[in-house]
Chains A and B, each alone.
Chain A
């Protein structure tokens, strides 16, 4: 038996990754295990869905936007039926939601929100940022969108109408930002690189994102 050496005693070092789970994490584990044991959900389904969630990021939405800018036919189909056009483009919808794509023009700037909770076009943008889910954005976006946009550093000229669309559990929105001037010769890949998450929520415009 080796002698006890305090220099090798790591018992008091806290590692947050290995720390005991909190009350709600324990609840999550218990609920998940019971649902699997009772065969309400399949073993491995949660892990598979985590992989699906991880595969959805704003880069996907940016590709859709770039393709719409580059291909007028696709743009028309996207505006007519967002979900069908995205599916045609190879993006599967894992939830039972409708997607409405809102086009920004010289006359209209669109902003999306979910006042009741946190509904978001997850299939094309991934999970929403925390501020989208928090009270100030949800409460104020529908009432004072210009003030909200100013807080995001986005100034929309007074003669441009601001339209705010309130998402629901089954209807989700995606903003199609305006294609910036001087990008006529860009490839779709170069165009996609200009498109950020916030421009597809509508709190930013392409021009303001440097």
Chain B
């Protein structure tokens, strides 16, 4: 059984004390003392308010924090922050915290939480990021209720974001996941999500735990596993997406976590993604204003400069990955002045498909292929920023939708490249 190899004796001892649970909320941590206390308090408040009759447990899988994170989790009490008089527990709300084995890694933390849920036979589970300082108690309800009622197996979030926040998600991860797998999951790389006990067991049996790409991008790999497994999906609006994690600004790391895992997933799921062309909507359970428009000071010139430098300096690398036509078009747009520059939908979609095919064929080191996409993405991000400078939230959404349809339309070219010799 998977949990025998991942759960430490200390974890097992604490889980055995809990017995069985209806609901489990997992919090993967590593040196999150600044925010974890508030997050756990809110989770507790949410569980007590919305699930007072259920057997609930908060499981903190810690990577060996040196800043008292586990102590803060264990000590987090709703008394400090709460609140209204209608919060009361009918059952004991367990909160356990233990260190998982090995190096700190999100994949190991998530696997530990999944194994704990499997052991406790929890019917509905959620994962919450310890850095989600914008969390509200009703996030817990919105994530867990649809799963606990048995209506859905996997619930992903919808966040309120600035129109220029999450550019990689809007310009690559969401459109490509949708084009590949035919489901319109807008946040395939979610830091908060919920899943059924059955899906949790399915996750544990996946190959993502043994492959480097799967471990690096566990969140998106889980989403893809849920889609590929034919589980019932839904998405629900939560609130503002917080960005405290310093890693989120590191583009290459972000690309490894998302694009690397997405490209890697195409290999085992070829039959699935190559067999359909269009996409289906995923039920949206709660809605809210998703796009905010407050002004931002962004250094667009730097993005364009790094695109120019990437196309020029990486020419020998790009020649191994892209077709001559695509390289020629990229070199063409690289000569344009800032006000004329445009990395259009079709060229960008074709670029990503050619990268995906080259990743499949391992024309060079796969990690190098993912890294080589970063400078080109900067050019695309520049175009997105310029084209949507004056756009309203609806117009931004419409532009993303247009790009998604372009990706779906051009998908047959990927199948052709995939099966081709070169």
**Are A and B bound to each other?**
no
**Which residues of B does A touch, CB under 8 Å?**
none
Show the binding face of A for B, using Cβ within 8 Å: none
